[in-house]
Every structure is written in structure tokens, then in C-alpha cells.
Structure 1
């Protein structure tokens, strides 16, 4: 047995007794120490670096560790085994997740889309009100002539005065009745959900003379990040929004790696706790502190996540999602109490999870389609959601076809050497000067660069291709002699955007040929999925009236650059609309429109899923698309080469 001390940089220490030759990353996970591991310990991403302060580990040489880093004691934790007592210094990843948690307004694109769609849905007959309601009620005082029970008295009021046939409530709510009724002489406030002719009572309290306070949360549970907006259910106003990284990232950047980890002893519970305790509940804490409200005043959560995220949230074994024939345990999840999942709002508060369609088309897509909305249009439209998976929905009011491709986390900065989510300090826009190959860029929040987010990666690779730094395969021109171009000991090329040496910076920010190759595969997966879906219906690309692009790729996505790289079809730019987080927008609309949740369920039932892996031509299309912009240049007539 070996003694291991993890020193979390600048914060705390954690002691652990490890077995001989135990993997260092596994030991850290067992100790509850968060180490970034997008590839789930496969030694391919190079992001689980730690420093051995004292003692030794058995490790192997890797391209991810330079000679200088190795000399300083830096190792990949997934590639190292414990052979003696050691002290290990690890980055404070948990705190960085909290620090990256942003309290923000919705972007202009998101706000504009919500307002536009909401008006359209109301015009199409939806009710401009939520199911959540509050009434201040003066019940008749009981006496010898009117001596019915308290619950019957409330039921009578709801039937005679509000038109409900019945009320239902839990035992916990019943226990509140006697004292709540009598504190203000039967003047009470009742919070309830409207369920057609039945009222489900969520709370009963003495009326305090103030306006009833009701809040709901729209929640997007993404593979890479989790976002929430707090909604005043009296006014339908979005009070504030928060987002942070999904804490499950320490167990893998994509759903497949997390599914694999879930099969380890305790893995499924670790993943469930990471999303509930370390992500959702932390966001709720941030929201209530920022707005000075009580968690008990939040009564409803409308959430959307992909099919794997739903299974992990519920603690349901997701292993069969990745095994042919790719079958989910459950698609249409019944509404339940947040308390059952450990989500910290009012104990009677409800959570609705948008239903999935298939293993790789989840509730985030059904909610997103609701927010576009393709499903009420005469013309043909498409939703392209660019996340860890790329999901495509095509159709109109008569039909909806959908498919998904495994894009990997590149669009959100994952598994890119200097990739990051779209947070302050992320480089989001880039231009390279033709004459001297010098980069110019903007960062989110105008802060010092910390990395490159999805929109910045698209700009950068497009600019590198335009200026001749790379060829159509993503290979850097070996004849270029330039201080911003370098090659490591493995002859892997890099282009440097920002560095200590050239820019007097605090860190190096660069992109490598391996990063570019990963991105080309991701963009190839998306385009080939779009092309195959349209081809299967024998419809040309130019039949599309609109393409809505969603996802956490970054608000400054330049569509013409995405087209130039061969990621999106070459149709007029004005037909494209970047709408941001369509999943959370759909959840907000479902919270604030009476029929919203039922409509999302109806949309999910009406979507036809196409499994690309069994479609004969998909792999050929994918290989053809793994080039900038494409091996078939006729598909991109507007792109200059």
C-alpha cells in the first residue's frame, strides 16, 4: 500500500492510501479529486497533467509531455501508476468550474428568438400562461353548522370558485394545513399546478399580504456545459441566467467515455452526483444568491438533455445506448418531484424532462425544435445543433426527420489543445494578416486569452487555410519559416496565437495539426449527416428556406467561415440563423405556455429517426467531407480556393 497526498493548488490537501501500481487518475477519482480527463483516461487528450512534487510514479513517454515538463515532474495522471509514497500537485479544476460559472443575460440572438417564437405560438393558439399558479384565498371559517374537514373545505372552494373537479396533494402538504389555515383565520396562499380539471397543490401557507412569489427554472443539461435561467412565473420574465461546465467532464468529455466509466464500480453514482450536486445544485445556489430569493419559492424545473444525460441524471444504466441496436431504457420520462433526484428547490417542486427520440437524439433536440419552430412552418427548415454530438432535424408542419452524428467535443473546445468553452478570456474571433501571418483576435469579455472556443476555432482554421498556412488536409506548410509556426519533437506542427515569448503573455495559446485533424473530422461528420439525410429524402440542399444553428459553439459564429470549411451547406448566408441555446429556449417556452410540455411530447412522437451507421453511403460521404472544404468542390461553388 502507498500513501498519496493530493495537493489541490492553492486550496487543500487530500490523503489517500493507494494499492501498489494503482493508476493515478483512478486514485484521484476515488479520492474525490477532480482532474480534467476529456478522453476518460485513454492518454489521447493530454489534459490530465499533474505535477509529482515528491516520490515517483511509473509513467511512459507521450507526445503530450514535453522534455521541459517531464524534467519539472509533470506527468499525465492517466498514463502513470503509483509505485511508492508520493505528493501530487493538481490544478484546482473544481474551483475553476465555479469561477467560470457565469451570471449573464441571454444573448441578443436568444432573446430575439424567444420573443419571436413566443408571439408566433400564442398567435397559433397556445395559452399565454404557465401551469403554475398561486391564489390568495379566504376560506369560510368553520362552525358547528359548517363543520366539514379542512381538506374538504379547500376542495369545495376550488370546485365552486375556481372550476376544478378535484384537488390532489402529498402528505407533506397535508401536514401544513392545520397551522397554515388558522394562523390568519383561514386566509391562505395556495400554490398549485393546473392539470386540466384537477389542481395539484404544491404548497399551502398563511397569506402574508404580499404578492405571491413563484419561480421556475429552464435548464439545459449539456454534455460539456449546464445552463439555467430563472423565470418569474408571475410575469414570465427571465430574471437571470447562469452557466458552468458539466462536472462529469472529469469522467470523459463525450457520452461514450462516460457510458464506459458508468460501468465501473460506483461509476454510475459518481456520474449522477457530478451532474446533480456539482452542477445543477451549484447553479441553483448561484441563481438564488444573485437574485436574493429563497429556493423554496422555486416550484418547477423544465429540463432538457441528450438521452445519455437523462439516463445519468436518473441513475439508469446507460450501457445499451452505445451497443447495437442502440436502445434507450426510457424516452418519455414521467414528471417527478425534484426531491427524488436530489435537486434543491421546494420539496414539492416538479421536474419535467423533455422526451428523447432515440439513443442519440435527446430531449435537448425536441425542446430545440419546439423553440425554432420547424413544426408549424409550410416551407422546409433545418435545425443543426452543434455540440458534442451533432444533431440535425429537417422538415416542416407535415413531417420531421432527424439524425445524429458523433462530432466529438471539438465545437465546444473539448479535446483541442488550447480549447475552452465560450467563457471570458476565450478567443472567439480571429483574423490572420496575409502579409506577415500575424493573428488579430477578440476575446469574450475583452480579457487576456485563456484558450479558443468553438467559433474561434472555426475562424482560425478558416484563416489558416485562406492564408496558405495549411492545406486541404489540415497540414501545415513545411516550407514556411515563421516565428508563429513551430514543430515539436514528433514533427507535429503548431500555429501560435498568443505566447509568453512573442506576446509577453501569461500562457501559450496555439492550435496543432492534431487539433485541426480532430476538427476536420467533426465538421465532416456534421456535413455528411446533413447531406445523407437530404439525399435519403431525394431532396436537394437548395430546397431549404432556413437553417437554424444552435449549440454552445459561441455567439460570434461566422457562418461564411463555417461554409468555407465545408461544415455547413453552401447556400446563401442570409438563410442561416444562429440562435444559441435552443434547448434552454424550448424549456423556457414550455414553462411559460400552458400547452408547451404537451407540445414537446407531441413533437418527439412525430419525429422519424434515421440511424446513419446503417445507411449505406454515410461512411463514404464522411470520408469525402474530411477535407477543406470537401473532395467534391461542386458542392461549394461560392467558396474561393
Structure 2
């Protein structure tokens, strides 16, 4: 038997993959516009009425006059129940309102409201992409069917959720919403980045390192992606000049699996693959939108650098994450590294094996983990602030559902992760919400009522993280709440914050925020103490993350959310994780640097600290850290 030439086999396999991928993309695009009931003779084969049907010669059936440019589905006529009687209920999404009529799905109403809901299965319930959160009116919908068995709480598939009761109001929201994003990052401008990507081209050939991967099509693009528990941010980067071409951001669609890491881990154990499936679908949709906006083809994306906390990263790379949710809270990848099986905790894989729509030979690289829940995103943060060249002691606080804290310099670094939970991102707070238009981002007490400022100056809908910190500081500053979260009127359980908009703040809200704040407090206090540095001796406190970028520093320090570092030493650096990922994408030197320094970072398990409980109780109080 003739020996198989592996190189030739790989070449042919890649060629076949490219052909079929092109067919799939073309089919996906065509399916949106060309009706499946329209045959090759442009005759309609549907057994139901449609406004695009026209009679032709006797015996030859019906002609389809759809132009294949607009979505055909709105022309279909169904045997819906009599809709002559006007209903009392409405359906709402993103402030848009539509009158309810029976027999329609939430997806149908999304069309009516011009709200974009992703799908790739023609609304059959198979792709699991059209997940929506039902904010009101869950009882008005047909009960979940088998296709929705993987969903919990108030989450439904829009294509399967049929409205039955049209006399009660319904409100829904898609999971892929766009929050207020940071399109800038403040990093170390003193060091010019050495442009040395792994992807280059010469004489019409594209190379990954020294291996030819494609013909040169006109662009060399890469993606730097930060997968956060709440938000996903992606930079499209020109690898030839180092410039960021586009920044995209959307809400992590995995929220149906829980708002925090531990819930996501539990969910993935029960419904393995569903979380990853939703994320990959959202990323691919974003990539195709980038292609359309900037007039290039996805095959021109040749490398992707991914960062995220340990759980988010490992789910993306198809890893089992159950070990991260159990003591000692380490990834299987970290266990293998500690056991000497791996030389690094970084991961590399081909895009086609991960299902990412890019060049089939493109590679996906993830920065290494630090330890436990302190993941690749923090490693990227440290690249962004160039900690490897810092002589004086600096502090990094990346605020999020899991807040990470690092104190150190080029010679020594100490890190910890604080399971803060989603309270400061709206989770568990009656009128809490992420940073979307209409979120209250700051409040002031003027002696008789609260004034406020909302994102995009829209009508207030709730409080985002910066607004909650602002409110807590104002309540303390004006003696309306004690350090322990008790309102001035001791029997009072609810403060009518904005009565005209029905927005309130309760003792229960204050309690949830106190516990979330205490987690942040513990992380900062214990890491500073372990390193042996007082807050006033920190030369720079780098605040990373979208939430932290909008926080009022004085408010945050007064309630003990941040260590009392002199405000002049605090630098808000925006989305440092995606900036660090971008630097690694563009520089082989940065990649080597991060691989080296993460191995020497000291990691602290906060809960093993002997006086952890005492520190946590102290941190629950709304007062400055001492």
C-alpha cells in the first residue's frame, strides 16, 4: 500500500474544507432571502397562502414573485385565530411596544418590533441561538417544550415561545444586547510596541510563522477577544500596521446559564456544550458583521488571541470546567501543568476545530492562566500595564463579577480572585441593571429628593454599578444609611429613590451590595497585607474593566469599595484585557514575556487566610478601608 503523504493529505483536506465552508456561508445567506418553498423554476410549492403567490397558466401551479432580496417570511399567510377582537395586552422590548395578537411567537413579535434576534435554524428550535429573557408575562406564554429543556428560570427560545394570553403585558429582551463599551485603553505609552506578529506575507503568500497558510487576499487581520462573564469585547486588528480597525462588544449570551461563574460551571455540567454553543454563534455573527462593515472576507482573519477568566476561557476551548468549581478550584489544564504534563497553561487550537468563522488554517491562542480563578484576562491586564518593567510597587484591580487583584512589580507579584458576584452589575438588585442606555450612573441628594444622570440621557430604567456606588456614598454622606446598611428610619425597608419612575432601593439591595463589596474589600486588603505594602505606598493603582472606568473614585473609596490609594495615583485603564490580548497578537516578544512571568506570580486563596471571616465582616460595612 502506498504511503500517505501527510502534507498532501492536509493540503487536500484544507481545500475541501474551504470549498464546503464557502458553500455553507452561501447557503446561510441565501436561506435568509430565498424562500425554501420556491423551486428552481420559481414556482411556489407551499401548501399555504402567501402574498408572493401569483397564478400562471392552468395546471402549472403558482409562481413565486418574491425578489429574493427581502426576508420572505412576512409574506406567509397562516391559519391564525381570528384577530378582529382587539387585545388588551402589549409586548415590549428595548422601549418599543406592539399590540398582542394570538398565535404568534416572541420571535414574530421581535420582527414586528424590528428587534434583532439571532438564529441559524429557520426558527425550528434546533440552533438554540434565539434565547430571550422574559422580563414580564411568562405565564402568558405556551409552556416550554422539549427544545427548551436546557433553559431555566425566565429564559425561552423566541421561536418556540408562543403567546397564548393576549390580554396581559409581556416584556422580553434578547441576550445579545450591546452595553456601553470602552473603545479606548490607557496603557504605558512610554514603550513603543514592537510590531512582530506571527502572521506575515511575502510574494503573495501568507505565512503563520514560517508555514504558508494561504494566498494573500489583500488584508492580514487578527482578532483579540476578551470573554468576560458579562460582556464580550473583540478588537479587529490589522496585523500589517498594528492598528485596530474595529471594536465590537456585546452581552455574553451565556447568561441563561447563570450570572456568575459557579452557576455557569454547574450549568455546563448538566447541559454540556450549550454555553459554548451560544457564545460561538454570537462570535461568528459578530465576525460576519465585521466582514460586512469593513468589506473583507472572513478568510482574511489569520490569528485570534482569546483571554478571559479561567472558566470562560476553558469553556471556549471545549474543556471540562467542573474541576474549577470544586476545591482546590483549578482548571484541568492547570492540574496538568502542575503535574508536569504541560509546559504552559496557554492553549492553541485551529479555528476550524473550534467552529470559528475565520481562515480554516487560522490559529487561536489563549494567554496562560495565573492560578485558580485568576485567568488569562489578568495575564493580559499585566501585559497592558507592562508590569514586567515596573520597579516600584503597583496595584491592579480588574473589577467584575469576579474581581482580580494583583500587587507587585517586575521582581515579585501577588494575586488573588474575589468572587464578588453580579450585584454591582445589576444581579440580585431590584432595580439593578447593566450599563445600558437608561441606566442611572450617578445620583445626588439635594436635600429633598435625588437628582440623577442616566447613560445617553434616556429615561431612567434602573441603576448600573457606578450608579449603585454613587447612591451608597450619597446615603452615607447624608446620614440616610448607617455603615451597616440600616436606613435612618430604622423601620424603613425601602427608599423611594425616583417615585415618578417607580425606582426604589431596599434594605435587601443594600445587604446584597454589602456582601459583593466585602469580597472586593477582602481581596485588596489581604493581597496588600501579604505583599507588605500600605495603600498610601502604592505608586499606581490601575483600575481595569468597563465598570471601574465609570466609577467615581471618591465614592468608591468612601464606602470601602476601593483601597484608600491617593486619588492622584489611580489610573483608569479601561478594557486592559483586550488591550493586552491585542499586544500579544502583534508582538512575539509580548507573548514570550507573559509566558515567562505568569509562572512566578504568587497566588493567594482568600478563604484559607486565618482571619478571612473577620476581614469579610469588616468589609461588609459601608466605610473606608483601614
**TM-score, normalization by structure 2:** 0.72
Once the two structures are superposed, the pairs formed by residues 25-424 of structure 1 within 5 Å of their partners are 34-36=131-133, 49-53=136-140, 77=154, 87=164, 91-94=171-174, 97-100=175-178, 106-107=183-184, 110=185, 112-113=186-187, 116-117=188-189, 119-120=190-191, 122=193, 127-135=194-202, 137=203, 189-194=204-209, 199-204=210-215, 212-264=218-270, 267-278=271-282, 280-331=283-334, 332-424=345-437
SS at match of 2:597: helix
Distance 1:624 1:193, change over 3 A: same
- What CA distance in whole angstroms lies between the structure 2 residues aligned with 1:397 and 1:389? 25
SS at match of 1:369: helix
SS at match of 1:235: coil
Matched, 1:551 2:566: no
Q: Per-residue CA shift, 1:579-638, capped at 9, x if unaligned? A: 1111101011111223122222222212111111111112210111110115xx7x1xxx
Matched, 1:11 2:110: yes
> Any conservation in 1 of the 2:135–2:172 contact (CA below 8 Å)?
no
Q: Per-residue CA shift, 1:70-126, capped at 9, x if unaligned? A: xxxxx9749xxxxxx9947864432xx445267x7723xx1x42xx34x4264xxxx
Q: Could you tell me which residue of structure 1 aligns to residue 31 of structure 2? A: none
Q: Could you tell me which residue of structure 2 aligns to residue 566 of structure 1? A: 560
Q: Per-residue CA shift, 1:541-590, capped at 9, x if unaligned? A: 33311111111315321111100011111231111111111110101111
> Any conservation in 2 of the 1:412–1:552 contact (CA below 8 Å)?
no
> Any conservation in 2 of the 1:308–1:321 contact (CA below 8 Å)?
yes
Q: Could you tell me which residue of structure 2 aligns to residue 460 of structure 1? A: 471
Q: Could you tell me which residue of structure 1 aligns to residue 497 of structure 2? A: 496
User: Shift of residue 192 of structure 1?
Assistant: 1.1
> Any conservation in 2 of the 1:6–1:90 contact (CA below 8 Å)?
no
> Any conservation in 2 of the 1:224–1:245 contact (CA below 8 Å)?
yes
- What CA distance in whole angstroms lies between the structure 2 residues aligned with 1:469 and 1:387? 27
SS at match of 1:462: helix
Q: Per-residue CA shift, 1:316-363, capped at 9, x if unaligned? A: 221111111222111413322111111111111111111112221000
- What CA distance in whole angstroms lies between the structure 2 residues aligned with 1:510 and 1:9? 34
Distance 1:204 1:389, change over 3 A: same
Q: Could you tell me which residue of structure 1 aligns to residue 15 of structure 2? A: none
User: Shift of residue 495 of structure 1?
Assistant: 3.6
SS at match of 2:330: coil
Q: Could you tell me which residue of structure 1 aligns to residue 480 of structure 2? A: 469
> Any conservation in 2 of the 1:253–1:414 contact (CA below 8 Å)?
yes
Distance 1:600 1:32, change over 3 A: same
Matched, 1:581 2:575: yes
User: Shift of residue 272 of structure 1?
Assistant: 1.0
User: Shift of residue 6 of structure 1?
Assistant: 6.1
Q: Per-residue CA shift, 1:127-175, capped at 9, x if unaligned? A: 333222122x2xxxxxxxxxxxxxxxxxxxxxxxxxxxxxxxxxxxxxx
Distance 1:232 1:304, change over 3 A: same
Q: Could you tell me which residue of structure 1 aligns to residue 99 of structure 2? A: none
- What CA distance in whole angstroms lies between the structure 2 residues aligned with 1:334 and 1:105? 27
Distance 1:9 1:406, change over 3 A: farther
- What CA distance in whole angstroms lies between the structure 2 residues aligned with 1:479 and 1:494? 12
Q: Structure 2 unaligned runs (5+)?
A: 1-102, 113-124, 145-151, 156-161, 335-344
User: Shift of residue 12 of structure 1?
Assistant: 7.5
- What CA distance in whole angstroms lies between the structure 2 residues aligned with 1:398 and 1:356? 19
Q: Structure 1 unaligned runs (5+)?
A: 14-27, 37-46, 58-74, 79-84, 138-188, 481-486, 636-641
Q: Per-residue CA shift, 1:218-240, capped at 9, x if unaligned? A: 11000001011111222211122
Distance 1:56 1:391, change over 3 A: closer
> Any conservation in 2 of the 1:548–1:578 contact (CA below 8 Å)?
yes
User: Shift of residue 54 of structure 1?
Assistant: 7.0
SS at match of 2:131: coil
- What CA distance in whole angstroms lies between the structure 2 residues aligned with 1:552 and 1:276? 22
> Any conservation in 2 of the 1:529–1:618 contact (CA below 8 Å)?
no
**TM-score, normalization by structure 1:** 0.70
User: Shift of residue 253 of structure 1?
Assistant: 0.3
Q: Could you tell me which residue of structure 2 aligns to residue 440 of structure 1? A: 451
Distance 1:509 1:30, change over 3 A: farther
Q: Could you tell me which residue of structure 1 aligns to residue 7 of structure 2? A: none
> Any conservation in 2 of the 1:214–1:234 contact (CA below 8 Å)?
yes
- What CA distance in whole angstroms lies between the structure 1 residues aligned with 2:299 and 2:128? 33
Distance 1:101 1:294, change over 3 A: farther
Distance 1:597 1:408, change over 3 A: same
Q: Per-residue CA shift, 1:408-456, capped at 9, x if unaligned? A: 01233333222222233322222221x21x2222222223333322112
Matched, 1:427 2:440: yes
- What CA distance in whole angstroms lies between the structure 1 residues aligned with 2:288 and 2:527? 42
User: Shift of residue 514 of structure 1?
Assistant: 1.9
- What CA distance in whole angstroms lies between the structure 2 residues aligned with 1:479 and 1:323? 40
- What CA distance in whole angstroms lies between the structure 2 residues aligned with 1:512 and 1:479? 12
Distance 1:31 1:281, change over 3 A: closer
- What CA distance in whole angstroms lies between the structure 2 residues aligned with 1:249 and 1:29? 19
- What CA distance in whole angstroms lies between the structure 1 residues aligned with 2:530 and 2:306? 32
> Any conservation in 1 of the 2:407–2:531 contact (CA below 8 Å)?
no
SS at match of 1:216: strand
Distance 1:121 1:584, change over 3 A: same
> Any conservation in 1 of the 2:404–2:415 contact (CA below 8 Å)?
yes
> Any conservation in 1 of the 2:129–2:281 contact (CA below 8 Å)?
no
- What CA distance in whole angstroms lies between the structure 2 residues aligned with 1:121 and 1:380? 22
